[in-house]
Every structure is written in structure tokens, then in C-alpha cells.
Amino acid sequence: MHAWHRLAALFVLVAGMADAGDHAQPIAADAPLPEWRAQGAPREHHPLEETPDARAFLSALNAPGPAPKVAGLADIFAPLLGSWDLDVVFFNPDGSVRRQAPGEWHFARVLEGRAIQDVWIVPPRAMRTAMDPAPGEYGTTLRFHDPRINAWRCVWHGIVNGIVWPFTCRRIADELVLERLDEDGTLMHWVFFDIRPQGFQWRSEVSTDGGRHWRVDQRMHARRKPANPFTSATKGEIP
Amino acid sequence: MSLQLDSTRAMLDALHAPGPSQANARELMLFGQFVGSWALDVIYYNPDGSIKRQTPGEWHFGWALEGRAIEDVWMVPPRSQRAGGLQPEGEYGVTLRFYDPSIQAWRSTWHGPVNGYVLPFIAKQMGEEIVLERTENGETTRWIFGRIQPEAFHWRAVSSRDGGATWRLDQEMSATRIQPCRGS
């Protein structure tokens, strides 16, 4: 598939875009899963502390600060830690606005502080329904510093749209630039810029001529979320 | 260990899901059956088949991202042997797995920050086993979950440089389920 179509597929905010139900096939129809495997919890939100399995996983994932080898100059994604409200704009090839949507983005240190994981949600949870498949995206990026290449490896997982994209990430002047070369030769940049304590901007740009010309196909404005009064009220640690 | 609240909690709260998504719920249980915590006995082999290293480890699986994905944290040695701020060799990484209906298989990507690895696999059930496969530079690697029971499973890594005619055992693990602490 052409890179533009894949990119478009990633961001199209139409319910039913990834119509999983039409394509779902049992992996082994002749081997029904035992009852204990087939039970699933309901989808209502459960506080983390009420689910012991989740707590074990999340406490193994969670890290309080940067690893010694990541701290300092290498810690380029540190300004993004925390939670952000998003205005997301998608552009047509002719530069006109195709779609605008709100979103949310949450960053935290994980894995002994060698990595930062984020969750990117468009539209935000407050606007999501129990609809399956979900519209938009609810994905994650894993980022870790790799001293062998003196850069970060960032992998975007777009779960709703079936995408796994590894990038190489560096700070270039005041910008954080994620770069990947698609299989068809399209060069992609995802760029964090205008990074301030209470906000940043982000753009996605593509080049089909080896980086001579770039076309912006998506932008985001991020504003730091105000402190959540519920979270503040329960400030402390889960034992 | 404890969960830091405040800003870190917001990401974990957005990541975490209580169970599988309704769509593809049956397919999702292929890896959903591993949700929970496991104690590991890990063995690495030399090319000649002799044991290179043996170490304990931990593996924790959780539902993530509206229940469409499973994320796990894998570490050797376990946290009890990583104290003191030293960063021992070994690994402390994550696999992100999600079912992709368009290929009727799972996209399963290993991130190993200690050793600088990002390894995307495609995974599916083959007979009684779950096979993750990837090919790079003429070498095919398979990571295989086998002998799967509710409280235990076996895992092995094999590789082939002749298109699958012969396989070499690189690593294996025995996993035993750990019951989480209920209540507090």
C-alpha cells in the first residue's frame, strides 16, 4: 500500500474504519479455548489498585526517575513527561484542513528509567463510547535511549489501525526529530517543536524526494493538563 | 516496589485496561491467557549446544489500550537481584502485542532497552503452540510458547540460517505462575 494511504488510514477518524468484525477469524476453530481462558472482565473502568494482576504489571513497568545513563544531555524527552490536551489537525495533500479533532497524550518513565512510554488517544476518553471498533486511535510509543547509536529508538504502535513503526530520534537544534524511511522510500519526520513548560507543538511531514521537499500532513498543539483534583487528593503511593 | 501516583499514574491509567476488548475477544485470549505474573528459569545456550548462562527472571503481563493489546514486562535477573542502583547485565524490557484482524495474526514487538533491541514479530497459533516469527539478514528467528497450562508454560527461542531446514536452540525458559497479592 502507498505510504500516504497508510498514513491516511492511521489518522482517519471515521467509525468503522478498521472494521475488525468483518475480518475476524478464529485462529484455530477446531480448538475451542477452555472456559478459564475465555473469560474476560467487563470494560468498565477499574481503579488500578483494585486489580492485583494489573498492579503487578504496572509496578514492574513504572520507574520513578531516569536511569543514570539516560540522565542529563541524553534525556531529550524529559520535557514531555506528564499529561497534555491536544488539538489535532489533519491536512489534505493540497494543504487544506481535512479534519480537526481533540485528543490526550500521557508520558511517563518506565523500565528502570531507561525508557519513556506514552499513550496517545484521539478522540479523548471523555468522547469515546463502547463502540467497537473504536474511531481514531488509542496507541502507544515506547522510547528508549540507545548509547550504541547515540540516539533514541521510538516505536509507535497504532493498535486500532494495525501499525508498528520504528523511528530513530534525535534532538536537532530546539526540535526533537523522529525519522523513519518507509518501505516505498518515503521519508517521514515526526517533530516536536516550540517546547515550553506548559505547551508544545508537533508536526508530521513526509518527503518523497529524499528530503528536498517536505509536505506537512498533520499538526498538533499540546497544552499541559491542569492537575487532576482527584489524583492530587489521593497523592501518595500504592503499596 | 510501589506505583508512583501523580503524573506517572496518568499514563498508567490511560494504558491499563481491565480485560479484553469485545471485538476479537476470543482471538485476544491467545495472549490474554498469560495475563498475570510469572517466575522464570532462563537458560542461554552456546552455538555448540552447551549452557552459556542460567538465570532467574520475572515476567508480568497486563491488558492495555482499551483491551486491544497485551503489554508485558520481562526482566532478568529479577528485581530482588537488581537492588542498590547497580544496573546489572541482563535485560528489563517490554513486549507490546496486539491482534491485527487485517493479517489475522498478532503484531508482537520486543523492546530491550538494556541491549538496544527493537524486534517486531508476527505471531499466531500453530497447533498447541504460539509461534512468533521474524526474518532478518537471512536468519529466521522463532520465539515459541509451548506446553501451555494455566499455571505454567515453556518458552524457547530457535533460529535457522537455511530457510527452516535446521533449527538451533538459543534460549529457553520455564515459567511458573505467581499469585498476585490480593488486597493490601
Which chain A residue has the Cα nearest residue B58? A60
Q: A231, B9 in Cβ contact below 8 A?
A: yes
Q: What share of chain B is helix, strand, coil (3-state, %, to 5)?
A: 10, 55, 35
Contact at CB, A155 and B150, closer than 8 angstroms:
no
Contact at CB, A108 and B12, closer than 8 angstroms:
yes
* Min Cα–Cα distance to chain B from A148, Å: 8
Contact at CB, B10 and A82, closer than 8 angstroms:
yes
A75 vs A53: CA distance, rounded Å = 31
B50 vs A121: CA distance, rounded Å = 48
pLDDT tens digits along A129-178: 755 556 789 999 999 999 899 999 999 999 999 999 999 999 999 999 99
Under the phi-then-psi rule, with left for phi > 0, alpha for psi from -120 to 50, and beta for the rest, what region is A154?
A: beta
Report the C-alpha dihedral over residues B30, B35, B39, B42, rounded to 10 degrees: 40
Amino acid, res. A192: F
Q: How far apart are the first and last CA of chain B?
A: 13
Which chain A residue has the Cα nearest residue B182? A52
Enumerate the residues of chain B whose CB falls inside 8 A of the CB of residue A115: 94, 111, 113
Q: Tell me how far CA of residue B103 lies from CA of A25, A162, B93, B96, B98, in angstroms.
A: 10, 9, 26, 17, 11
pLDDT of residue A33: 30
Contact at CB, B3 and A164, closer than 8 angstroms:
no
Partner residue facing A48 (CB), from B3, B98, B113: B3
Partner residue facing A61 (CB), from B10, B73, B109: B73
Does residue B120 register a pLDDT over 90? Answer: yes
Which chain A residue has the Cα nearest residue B122? A164
Listed as ranges, residues in chain A with pLDDT below 70 are: 1-50, 130-134, 228-239
Cα A4 from chain centroid (whole Å): 19
Q: A165, A141 in Cβ contact below 8 A?
A: no
pLDDT tens digits along B121-165: 999 999 999 999 999 999 999 999 999 999 999 999 999 999 999
Task: Tell me how many degrees the CA angle B67-A145-B16 measures, rounded to the nearest 5.
Answer: 15
Prediction pTM value: 0.83
Enumerate the residues of chain A whose CB falls inside 8 A of the CB of residue B82: 112
Contact at CB, B71 and A21, closer than 8 angstroms:
no
